[in-house]
Amino acid sequence: MPQLIYIHVFLKTLTEKYLLANNPHYEHGGCFLGTSFELMIPRFIPNVSPNPTREYQMASHYQRYLDIDKKMFRFDFEVHFHTHPNHSIVSEADLKSAISRSSTLYNILLSFDKQKESFTWRCYDRNGEEHYIEFIDKQFEKFKQFFAKTYNILYLGESFLTESGELVTNNPFSKCFIQIDEDALRVFRYITKKQRHSYRTLTKALLQKELSLSSVRIDRALKKLITNQLIKW
C-alpha cells in the first residue's frame, strides 16, 4: 500500500536553494529528520564518491551523527535523499544503497531539470516501489479547515466533499485513495513501478499474468484509473 510522506514546504524550499547553490550538476545527498507525521529538518551530507557527477556516497560515520540528532530532537523518523543531475530513474545502485540502510524504510530522489532549474521529488522504498510525497503548509492547513467548517463541507485532508456528494480536489492522488478499489490500486502501483524501472511494453495480458487478475477485473481497474486521470493508456 503506498504511503504518504509529509514534508513541510519550508523544508522543500530550503533544500532546493541549498542544492542550486552547490552545483546541481553533481550528485548531492543527506537525510531528512522528523516524525512519521512530518519531516522537519535537513542534514546535508558530503558526497565522498570519487565520481560525484554519476553517484552519491555518504561516509558511513555520518550515521552516528544522525542518530545523535534524532535522540536530541526526539525524532523517530529519517528519510535519506540524494540527487540526480540528469535523469529521474531510480537506479540499481540506488536500490542497493537503500537496502543496505537499516535505519530507514524510505528514500527520496530529487531529479534536476536543467531547463527549468528545478527539482522533481520522488519517494521509493527498498523494493523500488513508489510512495507519495505531500508538501504541507500548516498555516494554509488551518485556513482550509476554517473554510470547510464555515461552508459546511467535509474536509478530507487534500480534498473536500460537498453536501451534494461532489469530490473537489486538485491532487489526483487524493482521488486514488478515495475513489478507486483494491484492484485499481494494484494496477496503478504496478504500472507506475514498471514505467519508472523498465522499458518493457505494458499490455493487458501482461497485467493479467503479473497480478493474477481476470481480464474483466483488469478492464474495470484500467477504466477507473483512466477516468480519474491517474494513468494514460
Number of compact structural domains in the chain: 3
Same domain, 48 and 153: no
Q: What is the pLDDT of residue 45?
A: 93
Are 183 and 219 contained in the same domain?
yes
pLDDT for residue 163 is more than 80: no
Helices then strands, each counted (H, E), the chain? 8, 10
State the amino acid at position 98 in one-letter form: A
Same domain, 144 and 69: no
Q: 141 is in which domain, residue-wise?
A: 137-170
Which CATH number characterizes residue 104's domain? Answer: 3.40.140.10
Helix (H) or strand (E) holding 141: helix 138-150
Task: Give the CA angle between residues 137, 130, 81 to the nearest 5°.
Answer: 65
- Lowest-pLDDT range of 44-53, 128-137, 196-205: 196-205
Q: 124 and 27, same structural domain?
A: yes
Q: Are residues 123 and 184 in the same domain?
A: no
Condensed to tens digits (0 to 9), the pLDDT of residues 46-92 reads 999 999 998 899 888 888 889 899 888 888 889 999 999 887 788 88
> What pLDDT does residue 215 have?
92
Q: Both 157 and 56 in a single domain?
A: no
Of 93, 114, 136, the residue at which a domain comes to its end is 136
Three-class secondary structure of residue 134 per DSSP: strand
Residues 124 and 96 occupy one common structural domain: yes
Q: Are 90 and 108 in contact (CB under 8 A)?
A: no
Q: Which pLDDT value is given to residue 41?
A: 87
Q: Which pLDDT does position 233 carry in this prediction?
A: 77
DSSP string, 25-52: TS--EEEEEEETTEEEEEEEE-B--S-T
Give the whole-angstrom CA distance, residue 45 versus residue 18.
12
pLDDT band at 95 (very low <50, low <70, confident <90, very high): confident
